[in-house]
Homo-oligomer: A and B are copies of this chain.
Amino acid sequence: MVLTQSPPTRPLRADARRNREAIISAADDLFRTQGMSLQMDEVAQRAGLGVGTVYRHFPTKEALTVELVTYRSETVITQAEDALVTDAPAVAIRGFFHAMARLMSEDVGLRETFKMQSTADLQGESCAYFRQDLHERKLAIMQRAQRAGAVRGDLGVEDFDALMCGMGQAIVAGGRPELIADVILEGLRVPLGDGADSKGSDARRAGVDGA
C-alpha cells in the first residue's frame, strides 16, 4: 500500500507509530466530509496532536492526502476486480457503478480521489508505480467487460475514469445516485444503430481484441 519509501526506513518509535495512525485516521474522517479542503490544523486537533507532529510524519499536505487517495483507489479497484471474478461482466459492472454512486454520495474524498487520478494532482514521481499498476488493472477490467459485450468498445481507460469522475460530480450536484449511475451504465452499453443516430458512434468497437 505504501510505496513512498526507498531508503531502509528504520521502524518508528512506539509513540510515533501510534500518532501516525491517529493522524491518518483523523485525516481520513476529515477527507470523507471535506475532501481536499481539509486543514492541517484540524487534522492535528482531531488527532489530539500539534501541527508540527503532523508535518513531521507528512512533510506536506499533499503527502498526507496521497496516502488517503491511494488507499481509496486500492480499495475501489480491488472491489471491482472481485466483482468481475464472481459475477458475469454486465452484472459486475452494474453492481460496481451502483456501489460507487452510493459511496460517492457520502464521501467527498472518494469523489476527489477520482478527480485527482485524472487531473493534475497525484502526479508526483513517488506514486508513479502505483499509478501504472492502477492503470493496468483498470484496463484489464474494462477490456474484459468490452469483450463480453457489456461495454462499448470505443471507450478508453481515460474515458472510463472521466465518466466515474463525472458521475461523482453529478451526484454532488444533486442528481439521485441510483438514477445517475443507471444513466451512465445504459450509456456505456454498445449502442444499437437506430433512428435519430446521425453520427458520433462511427468509431464503434474500435478497441476490442481477443484475450
A interface, CB within 8 angstroms of B: 88, 90-91, 94, 98, 114-115, 118-119, 150, 152, 154-156, 158-159, 161-163, 165-176, 178-189, 191, 195-196, 198, 200-201
Contact = CB atoms under 8 A, between A and B. Distances in A.
A33 B171 CA distance: 25
Contacts of A178: 200
Contact of A196 (B88, B162, B191): B88
A154 B179 contact: yes
Nearest to A183: B187
Contacts of A88: 196
20 contacts: A94-B196, A94-B198, A114-B173, A150-B196, A159-B175, A162-B173, A163-B183, A165-B175, A166-B171, A166-B180, A169-B169, A181-B200, A182-B187, A182-B201, A183-B187, A184-B187, A186-B189, A186-B191, A187-B187, A187-B188
Copies of this chain present in the complex amount to 2
Contacts of A172: 118-119, 165
A163 B170 CA distance: 5
Nearest to A159: B175
Given A173-B161, A175-B162, A191 B182 contact: yes
B159 A180 contact: yes
B91 A196 contact: yes
B161 A166 contact: no
Ranked nearest first, the 7 interchain pairs of A and B with the lowest CB-CB distance are A162-B175, A187-B187, A166-B170, A169-B169, A118-B173, A183-B187, A166-B166
A158 B175 contact: yes
Contacts of A198: 91, 94
Contact of A180 (B94, B115, B162): B162
A74 B18 CA distance: 55
